[in-house]
Amino acid sequence: MSTLPYSPGLEGIIAGETSICTVESGLSYRGYGVGDLAEHCSFDEVAYLLLHGELPNSKELQAFIARVAAARRLPPPLKDLFASIPKSTTPLDSLRTAVSILGHFDPDATDNSHDANLRKAERLLAQIPVAIAVQHRITKGLQPVAPRQDLGQAANFLFMLRGSEASPEEVKAMDVSLILYAEHEFNASTFAARVIVSTLSDIHSGITGAIGALKGPLHGGANEKVMDILLATGGPEKAEEWTRAALARKERIMGFGHRVYKAGDVRAGILKTYSRKAAAVAGATKWEDTADIIENVMATEKNMFPNLDWPAGRLYHAMKLEIPLYTPIFAMSRISGWAAHVIEQLDNNRLIRPRALYKGPAARSVKPVSERG
């Protein structure tokens, strides 16, 4: 019997060191509180911070924005693939495939140096939103919209998705959501990416694996389930009854609880303001009222509080974005954190190879096949 310590799901286990992010005493990226970043920075600035280690000055920011904007293009074979894969393929599955294919066309594909990985990371930051928007429009039978080099990440994504410019309020709300989703320490998808590249694999393989991990409803897929829950209640009049009945059936209410934040997720509080504003503009405040009622029941009955997915799902719904896009939007934000972790892992690499607690049969001998009962 092993004497090594065991924690199911690795809960509370320190699995590595990082200078990118901490969830101790509130979430911060490279020392900056996430609330401070959301209030004073754009997602472009935060992506630079995560990838390069410091917030950019004006010159650095403009150069970064220009590099990312110039990389907003996809190889033609990938667009052809989007047109040929089954229409039932989810946007996140399409994105997972797209990232893998992008690796074949990247000029630094075989170079795992720090500088090459930074270049690849910036290209992925540019290409992932384009891939999401192009695949979405092709699936809908619409012509893809060419990217704009004069727009930031949030504004350009909404423009490519819709074919028209978003309002400043929508751009700001999307921008804040991207900042809040950008990084979160050793979460499942980030850890998956680090495990993959710890074998000295490449960044495209690591990000492809991260997207696979993000797909699950216990991680990134949770934001897509939020509106399913709200719509199932029928509205604020029946929300309390529905929630109590769901709890009595021991159903999981997605968007609540967190492995790390036991007293609530600070990101949820920040984004809730934007989701309510967007709902007011859309004339759909009934879902915000419904959400408030569910929050009260969950706090009273289960001592559980919203996580970021809870307001994010509502915000994107109020912005009239289709539900299957919600997790890909998570990915187009988290690529900044994923890539930062991939680079950090490879800069000071050690193969990640944990042990397992064996629970199988005791040692035994093999009998000839004729003697086995």
Q: Which residues of 119-147 are buried (b: 16+ CB within 10 A; e: fewer)?
A: bbbbbbbbbbbbbbbbbbbbbeeeebbeb
Tokens of 21: 């992010």
Catalytic: which of 106, 202, 265, 309?
Answer: 309
Catalytic: which of 258, 265, 317, 341?
Answer: 258
Catalytic site residue 150? no
Catalytic site residue 106? no
Catalogue the active-site residues: 258, 309
